[in-house]
Amino acid sequence: MKLTLKIWRQKSPKDQGEFETYHLDDASQDMTFLEMLDALNEKLIDEDKDTIAFEHDCREGICGSCAMMINGRPHGPGQEITTCQLNMKAFKDEDTITVEPWRVQSFPIIKDLVVDRSAFEKIMEAGGFVDVDVGAIPEANIYPVEKKIAEEAFDAAECIGCGACVAACKNSSAMLFVAAKVSQYALLPQGRPGGLTRAWNMVTEMDELGFGSCTNTGACEAECPKGISLAHIARLNREFLKAGFNKVGIEKE
């Protein structure tokens, strides 16, 4: 395959950055998208040029680090895949492919296609954990959970924090990410002790970090590589309201 690649290059967070055009004449349809970028970087090394910086780790759709827009879509064409799972069969010979990082204020660009997603870590630090003394390891069946509820909790826990939901949202909202993390605890008995503060703290932190509001356009669900449902946002709203009523009650006391 012969490809024309328009890739965003930016040396540092303070630099302006711009698109640069590259030509790759020996790409294979058997490659993944990241393997194609590896091939391009090998060519740049041979030409004694600066390689393209992009983040990756597992290359199995688990780590969520390959955060890039491909032809205007988070992770590129296809449903419920990350960039590392995107196969070059999705493109044709002599295609032009535009590659850029997430365009999100809360995810500042570090270099080229690498963005700083530590804002998600700060949201998790605000409440995405179980803070109780659990003592010794309990018997596995001590907390009976209905199968349907357990499956929904596990579906929420599949969120890999890649940021595609934020990149796809016109408001750069992180509601789907926060909702998934709240749901995985709110649905299970082990996560209920901190339920009255978790949603409040995480949403508050999300707002302080500059993420936008949710207007339920559904772009986040459509581009999520794990198919996280918008229904979790409804649960987050309920948890947030309960936390708000609890907070008001405590302040009155």
Q: Which pLDDT tens digit goes with each residue over 72-85? A: 999 999 999 999 99
On whether both 203 and 96 belong to a single domain, the answer is no
On whether both 59 and 105 belong to a single domain, the answer is yes
Residue finishing a domain among 92, 111, 130: 111
Among 8-22, 37-51, 68-82, 121-135, name the one with the lowest average pLDDT.
121-135
Backbone angles phi, psi at 73, to 5 degrees: -120, 135
- Over residues 25-53, the mean pLDDT reads 97
pLDDT at 139 over 80: no
pLDDT at 241 over 80: yes
The CATH number of the domain where 91 resides is what?
A: 3.10.20.30
Strand partners of residue 4: 23, 96
On whether both 233 and 165 belong to a single domain, the answer is yes
On whether both 106 and 154 belong to a single domain, the answer is no
The CATH number of the domain where 183 resides is what?
A: 1.10.1060.10
Q: What is the reported pLDDT for 250?
A: 54
pTM of full prediction above 0.85: yes
On whether both 76 and 168 belong to a single domain, the answer is no
13: helix, strand or coil:
coil
105-127 CB burial, b ≥16 within 10 A, e <16: ebbebbbbbbbebebbeebbebb
On whether both 168 and 218 belong to a single domain, the answer is yes
Q: What is the reported pLDDT for 131?
A: 75
Q: What is the reported pLDDT for 134?
A: 62
On whether both 82 and 194 belong to a single domain, the answer is no
Per the structure, the count of domains in the chain is 2
Among 122-131, 173-182, 202-211, name the one with the lowest average pLDDT.
122-131
Q: What is the reported pLDDT for 192?
A: 83
Q: What is the reported pLDDT for 48?
A: 97
CA distance 163 to 4: 26
pLDDT at 110 over 90: yes
- Over residues 218-224, the mean pLDDT reads 97
Residue finishing a domain among 111, 129, 164: 111
HSE of 69, CA atoms in CB hemisphere, 13 A: 19
On whether both 233 and 160 belong to a single domain, the answer is yes
On whether both 219 and 242 belong to a single domain, the answer is yes
On whether both 22 and 145 belong to a single domain, the answer is no
HSE of 101, CA atoms in CB hemisphere, 13 A: 25
With contact defined as beta carbons under 8 Å apart, do 33 and 5 qualify?
Answer: no
On whether both 18 and 50 belong to a single domain, the answer is yes
CA distance 41 to 34: 10
Around Cβ 89, how many Cβ atoms within 10 Å? 11
CA distance 175 to 171: 10
On whether both 101 and 124 belong to a single domain, the answer is no
Residue finishing a domain among 58, 91, 111: 111
pLDDT band of residue 251 (cuts 50, 70, 90) is low
Domain that holds residue 44: 3-111
pLDDT at 90 over 60: yes
Q: What is the reported pLDDT for 62?
A: 95
Q: Find, among 111, 112, 54, the residue nearest to 83 by Cα.
A: 54
Retrieve residue 189's tokens: 């008995």
- Over residues 219-223, the mean pLDDT reads 97
Q: What is the reported pLDDT for 248?
A: 56
